[in-house]
Amino acid sequence: MKHRFAITSTLITLALLTMTCSSWIGNGEAMVRLGFSHAGARDVLARPLTPAQSIVITVAGPDMSTIEETVGPTVTQVDLSVPAGPSRTVTVSMNMPPADPGAVLVFRGSATLDLEAGSSQTVSIHVVPAETKILVPDMLNNRIVQIDDMTGAGWITRVQADFPLMYFYPTDMDLDALGRIYIATSYSSSSAVYRINDLDPASTPTTVASSIYKIPCLAVDPFRDWVYYIDTSASGTLKRVKTDGTGDTTLVTTGIDLTNTLGIDVDAEGCLYFYGSISSVRTIIRYDPASASPIMATIATTAVGITSSYILSDVMVKDDYVYLCAYYNDGMTVCQSKVISLSKATLTHVDDYGFGPFTDETPGPAEIPGAHRFLAIRNKKFHVTDEWRQSFNPQDRIVEFNDFSDPSLDLFGSTGSGVGQFVLTYSC
């Protein structure tokens, strides 16, 4: 006999991007119920909701076959019969329609629970962006760009006139749990962090934070609704602000010089990864803002193959690894760059994806002369901005590759101000 537990009202009034599972047990079998809400808006600050094109639910675990069910966008409840047992992982993927103007292609979340006979439990699945379109901070063209993929389809921009500041130099971008876009801008006397729902012309930007100093980078924690950013005041300052613009706070970074920090990221546990100088030694840092002693781990950049001649330009966390972009140039025609992977647990070196040196030549089909900024950071594939000089002329493009073991590259873009063109953040 199956014993079913009544659904409470919270199961049908949750925001769309939070799913709730209830399980009830009988005769070695568990029933998992998921409730969805389609209330018409993601929250009071978000753009009107575009329903998902489809919702895919999977349940996997040891000693069981994976269960998968696809439902339509208007479903309010799904019941799945699941074998009782340990470590049942429920994953919800929400596939957005291609015509949706937002940056997110797929929202996804999962939760793991033990389904034991004679018990019942409820867990929340927090769904966040998992696969996205490609957002580019086209800094020296004073605009941000969104494309669907490496073909350049869906090209759309927002330009300086769309934002309050007189000088709009976007340097970094990230997304919150709702798929809203956050933009760091960097100008010597007037910088900001903006939030915008999407790049549709009807979307109005909101100022989340501002500074009289440059803001070279930011990272959004989609699980806790914090925006972390660095400005170049004093020896550089690490700050955070809620996604609604409240609670702007300076975090403790005693002994860390962040003046030249250009990249920061945050993992699912809320830990930050960035680099700075400690006692004049360039250092990769794992930082827990919830801890009274926030510096959790460090490693000198020389220990991971980044010599003093390299500029460390970005940091990204993906799965169990921390990735770094680093590049070198002699100010004339010689360029060299690396994408480096570190163990997230220990910050020790794992692998290099290195290129160069290049001396005023056209790079080959599997070469990246000037890797600078990670893009589409949640996607399975890697995307980086690539900037270098050829015969003293700047070259700008976007590069996509699968992983460190696959040297093939997909390329998009050239230097300029038109469609399919960029003038990016730095020139190698």
Q: Is residue 428 part of a domain?
A: no
- 30: pLDDT confidence band, cut at 50, 70 and 90? low
**Of 259-268, 373-382, 397-406, where does mean pLDDT reach its minimum?**
397-406
Task: Note whether 229 and 178 are same-domain residues.
Answer: yes
Task: Note whether 365 and 410 are same-domain residues.
Answer: yes
Residue of higher predicted confidence among 422 and 94: 422
Task: Note whether 116 and 153 are same-domain residues.
Answer: no
Task: Note whether 301 and 400 are same-domain residues.
Answer: yes
Q: What is the pLDDT of residue 47?
A: 33
Domain boundary residue, one of 83, 101, 128:
128
Q: What is the pLDDT of residue 122?
A: 67
Give the tens place of pLDDT for each residue, 370-399.
899 999 999 999 999 998 877 677 889 999
Can you give the CATH number for the domain in which 229 is found?
2.120.10.30
Check if the beta carbon of residue 170 is closer than 8 Å to that of residue 160. Answer: no
Domain boundary residue, one of 63, 95, 128:
128
Q: What is the pLDDT of residue 34?
A: 67
Domain boundary residue, one of 73, 98, 128:
128
Q: Is residue 2 part of a domain?
A: no
Give the tens place of pLDDT for each residue, 277-335.
999 999 999 999 999 999 999 999 999 989 888 999 999 999 999 999 998 876 666 77
d(CA 426, CA 414): 14
Give the tens place of pLDDT for each residue, 104-143.
999 998 889 888 766 666 667 788 899 999 999 999 999 9
DSSP code per residue over 381-426: SEEEEEEEEETTEEEEEEEEES-TT----EEE-EESSSTTEE--S-
Q: Is residue 315 part of a domain?
A: yes
Q: What is the pLDDT of residue 25?
A: 44
Task: Note whether 115 and 185 are same-domain residues.
Answer: no
Residue of higher predicted confidence among 10 and 150: 150
Task: Note whether 237 and 300 are same-domain residues.
Answer: yes
Task: Note whether 124 and 139 are same-domain residues.
Answer: no
> What are the φ/ψ torsions at residue 140 (nearest 5 degrees)?
-80, -5
Name the residue among 219, 220, 294 with its Cα closest to residue 251. Answer: 294
**Of 241-255, 353-367, 397-411, where does mean pLDDT reach its minimum?**
353-367
Can you give the CATH number for the domain in which 73 is found?
2.60.40.10
- Share above pLDDT 90 across residues of the chain, in percent, rounded to a whole number: 57
For the segment 171-176, the average pLDDT, to the nearest whole number, is 96
Is 21 exposed, middle or buried, given 0-12, 13-18 or 19+ CB atoms closer than 10 A? buried
Task: Note whether 143 and 64 are same-domain residues.
Answer: no
Q: Is residue 427 part of a domain?
A: no
**Of 118-127, 230-239, 334-343, 404-413, where does mean pLDDT reach its minimum?**
118-127
Q: Is residue 3 part of a domain?
A: no
Q: Which domain holds residue 357?
A: 133-422
Instruction: Report the amino acid identity of residue 8.
Output: T
pTM of the model: 0.89
Name the residue among 281, 343, 279 with its Cα closest to residue 306. Answer: 281
Q: What is the pLDDT of residue 321?
A: 96
For the segment 79-101, the average pLDDT, to the nearest whole number, is 87
Q: Is residue 408 part of a domain?
A: yes
Give the tens place of pLDDT for each residue, 198-236.
999 999 999 999 999 999 999 999 999 999 999 998 889
Pairing of strands 421-422, 414-415: parallel
Task: Note whether 158 and 83 are same-domain residues.
Answer: no
Q: What is the pLDDT of residue 164?
A: 87
E strands, 151-271, where?
Answer: 156-159, 170-175, 181-185, 191-196, 206-211, 217-221, 226-231, 237-242, 249-250, 256-257, 264-266
Q: Is residue 53 part of a domain?
A: yes
Domain count, the chain: 2
230: left (phi over 0), alpha (psi -120 to 50) or beta: beta
Task: Note whether 255 and 361 are same-domain residues.
Answer: yes
d(CA 395, CA 391): 10
Task: Note whether 162 and 307 are same-domain residues.
Answer: yes
Mean pLDDT of the chain: 84
Q: Is residue 1 part of a domain?
A: no
Task: Note whether 116 and 179 are same-domain residues.
Answer: no
